[in-house]
Structure 1
């Protein structure tokens, strides 16, 4: 692994400056990037080769400083792609870090789900990265898919591509140059692995058949950073059937910039866009300038994020109280052991 190879992985002058000023910097310490996570271990690519270290606190895409035996410290993350973990808790799953472009992949066959694209784009904006919507299987399209999807992703570019015919691949390559990191976010069966292989010109990722119900089989079972020849670095992730949103309204505001812009003209600052007089959003719906389904989706995702935020705050308070009780118990036990007070 050479210095040039580190640059291929995304190392740049700004990272070099951060590393030089880091308290962990010193003789024998060099930078590396986490390229694979496997349970309690991670693989780190360095200029001297691959290194396996404990995975505590690390995620695919992290930059670390290492002495060749263990990692000394992680550099600040520029972006974090998270989603709400499956299950009843408010826990969040960290999918990847230091990603430049989140490629939201949605198949044209069957017909693309604009609601799913809205959710994934909201997640992408919340990460701090730039979303890019890619509609695969363009050779099977009916004709209006691009316009339908583009209408619900203001601020994000939409590309239609076909791995079978090569259509749109050059335009996509232009968004993924060497030195940049991108992640594909989309459902199983969207053709993510096939797309990457078409971009690379040979098989980089394993592909799987699509089931009879149109859903794909999981061909990726772990998160891994892969160098794509001639392009940047790909964070390969398992297909996502459900996208739970994190408690971040900033991502929602960017994903629904059209609704937010209209809301700025509402008579009341706290307008909920339901029955309030002087609501610019409802007026836009009435005039056909804003689809009712678009507003309904915005309301739904806003409620989901608010619910997630409330649950997370409640869970954090509960954990804080638990730590406080444990601390008090430990203190009482220590005092009893020293004969300074009775056990309670």
Structure 2
């Protein structure tokens, strides 16, 4: 890419420009991460595209993976397009879509940074699952971005209206768009969320049509899409997260299909997603009501009279338990790290004392 890139179109603003002053004084340029590889990154700046790796200082001071560059991050970089650059700093994020890394490791994985809109993508076939949408909504709200539900494959759906109604019921106030990448139904409704300088991320399971949606929004076959199987699911082709500048304005981040979205620091997002339950809980007799066996429980009353669906409440409780478990593991990890730090201090003190005694 040889033409001059408009940083504003990429999402640059006056707040970032002011915060970047100290880095500019050191001779660094602002750039945005478009692709994250193992140990290196693709960047785009107003001068063009380049690859870069993190400086030793940035790696040394990172407390975990969440402090390192991620797709969507703005960074301070040295180097010229066509050559390998060095990332010296990550600019403060205005929003961050994260999950816990898979497995037993208690660590944050940033899926996308500096996002304005989260497109939660589900297809109108057997993939449609409101419980999964509730999990996605919880993480989207916690990120600080605005969620939008996109239901794909409306041209082959037999019960589209029912699915749309279910999505609207669990996501009050959230835009819900049914789209078809074949007939282009609803594509302009989705595009309306992508003004110049706006960044959106696509999140959903494998095969729901995310990459095809990117192609529809971009107006070309930018993202490779394999043939659709007989059961209506697309074969998964996106293997890494990528930030794409759209020709008509806006930036979109395509992501691989998510097999597992483990929660990370989403307490506020949980309350927003289940606002109806939070409001009911205000009517409970006891402020610390567990909605189990306490008298005067407004949530139990709603479950009994059917105004609150049992499966929705079970979904809420499941996410609550998962979050509580994560917090316990984080506390245990923090305690272990604190103990390790003081052991190191103690060893250093003992070494000094031994040295002094020798003299």
Cα 1:251–1:341 shift into 2, 3 Å? farther
Aligned to 2:346: 328
Work out the CA distance in 1 between the residues paired with 2:90 and 2:114.
12
Q: Secondary structure at the match of 1:36?
A: strand
TM-score for both structures, normalised by structure 2: 0.87
Cα 1:130–1:341 shift into 2, 3 Å? farther
8 A Cα contact 1:245 1:304, kept in partner: yes
**How far off its partner does 1:220 sit?**
1.7
Cα 1:111–1:215 shift into 2, 3 Å? closer
**How far off its partner does 1:168 sit?**
0.7
Cα 1:277–1:302 shift into 2, 3 Å? same
Residue among 118, 124, 129 paired with 1:113 = 129
**How far off its partner does 1:330 sit?**
4.8
Cα 1:340–1:203 shift into 2, 3 Å? farther
**How far off its partner does 1:25 sit?**
3.0
Work out the CA distance in 2 between the residues paired with 1:83 and 1:253.
17
8 A Cα contact 1:206 1:219, kept in partner: yes
In structure 1, the gaps of 5 or more residues are none
**How far off its partner does 1:275 sit?**
2.4
Work out the CA distance in 1 between the residues paired with 2:70 and 2:324.
26
**CA deviation profile, 1:252-301 (whole Å, cap 9, x unmatched):** 01111111111112211111122222222222222222111111111110
TM-score for both structures, normalised by structure 1: 0.91
Aligned to 1:264: 282
Work out the CA distance in 1 between the residues paired with 2:325 and 2:234.
31
- Write the mapping of 1:1-344 to structure 2, written as runs, cut at 5 A: 5-20=6-21, 23-26=22-25, 28-55=27-54, 56=59, 57-68=68-79, 69-110=85-126, 112-141=128-157, 142=159, 143-210=161-228, 217-330=235-348, 332-333=350-351, 338=355, 340=357
Number of equivalenced pairs: 339
Work out the CA distance in 2 between the residues paired with 1:58 and 1:334.
39
Cα 1:309–1:27 shift into 2, 3 Å? closer
Work out the CA distance in 2 between the residues paired with 1:285 and 1:126.
27
Q: Secondary structure at the match of 1:45?
A: strand
Work out the CA distance in 1 between the residues paired with 2:357 and 2:113.
49
Work out the CA distance in 2 between the residues paired with 1:263 and 1:87.
33
Cα RMSD, aligned residues only:
2.3
In structure 2, the gaps of 5 or more residues are 60-67, 80-84
Q: Secondary structure at the match of 1:225?
A: strand
Q: Secondary structure at the match of 1:226?
A: strand
Work out the CA distance in 1 between the residues paired with 2:241 and 2:130.
26
**How far off its partner does 1:339 sit?**
6.5
Work out the CA distance in 2 between the residues paired with 1:340 and 1:206.
70
Cα 1:244–1:213 shift into 2, 3 Å? farther
Cα 1:27–1:330 shift into 2, 3 Å? closer
Q: Secondary structure at the match of 2:244?
A: strand
